[in-house]
Structure 1
Amino acid sequence: MHEMSIAMAVVDQVTEAAQAGAARSVSRVELEIGELAGVVPDALAFSFELARTATPLDGAELVTRSVAARARCGSCAGEWAVGMPPDLCCPGCGQATAVELLSGRELRILRVVWDDALEPIPEEA
């Protein structure tokens, strides 16, 4: 279950940023997760609950935002929703050799809500 390693990495990064800004607690963490990132949101939420224990994130809410997978054809410039499983063959012209994946692999911290920072901390960690 790689969701636990992802949750631990998020908790570590946010904890480090909180300590740098002298924040003692975090109430909310927002993540952006692409539909092709291979992350199961429920498993990540469960893992986050375990990983946040005894850290400045203890009790913090995890909010995830899904990003749809989209691709563009280099031959005809058509764009389409990729879906699961990924279909990287252009529905417009049938080409699959010059396809660019535009979105869907994201996995990043979008925003962190700090409760008691003494110094301003950037919202993105």
Structure 2
Amino acid sequence: MHEMAITQSVVEAVCEHADGRAVHSVTVEVGQLCAVVPDAMRFCFELAAEGTLAQGARLEITEVPGSAHCRACELDFALAVPILLCPHCDGADVTVRSGRELRIRSMEVSTECAQPADVETTARP
């Protein structure tokens, strides 16, 4: 299950960027062509986050559909599996435009409260 290794990398990156703050949620984009099963990633996230700044964080996964462009006939089309033939002209001169993404889009972390103003140094009118 490669989802565990991928999810561990996500947790490590998130914790590194959290800079010591607790992580509340992480949003990840997963392309439908990148062979990552979102439900498996959700399961692995809880295990990988245990004992880290991301423990208890919510993982939100946005699935990105596959799409491609045929350079021969200029057709843009949906791509459900990585079969790179144009459905219109059967051409193989096809460029994948989306669906291979695997990226952290955002994360929500706690913020420290502002330090109270020191009474002795606060200017008085």
Coarse TM-score class (shorter-chain normalised): 0.7 to 0.9
- Report SS of the residue matched to 2:103: strand
User: 1:26 matched to which residue of 2?
Assistant: 23
User: 1:121 matched to which residue of 2?
Assistant: none
User: 2:83 matched to which residue of 1?
Assistant: 87
Q: Which runs of 5+ in 2 are unaligned?
A: 114-125
- Report SS of the residue matched to 1:13: helix
Rg: which structure is higher?
Answer: 2
Distance 1:117 1:4, change over 3 A: farther
Q: Distance in 2 between matches of 1:41 and 1:94?
A: 31
Distance 1:16 1:94, change over 3 A: same
Q: Deviations over 1:65-111 (max 9, x none)?
A: 00000010011110111113x33211222211x11000110000001
Residue 117 of structure 1: CA displacement? 5.4
1:4 aligns with 2:4: yes
Q: Which runs of 5+ in 1 are unaligned?
A: 119-125
Contact kept, 8 Å, 1:18 with 1:117, in 2: the verdict is: no
Q: How many residues align?
A: 113
Residue 24 of structure 1: CA displacement? 2.0
Equivalent residue in structure 2 for 1:38, among 24, 35, 46? 35
Equivalent residue in structure 2 for 1:73, among 70, 73, 86? 70
Residue identity over aligned pairs, in percent, reads 43
Structure scoring higher RCO (CA < 8 A, sep ≥ 6) equals 1
User: What code does the residue aligned with 2:18 have?
Assistant: A
Distance 1:4 1:91, change over 3 A: same
Q: RMSD in angstroms over aligned alpha carbons?
A: 1.3
User: What code does the residue aligned with 2:9 have?
Assistant: A
User: 2:122 matched to which residue of 1?
Assistant: none
Contact kept, 8 Å, 1:32 with 1:110, in 2: the verdict is: yes
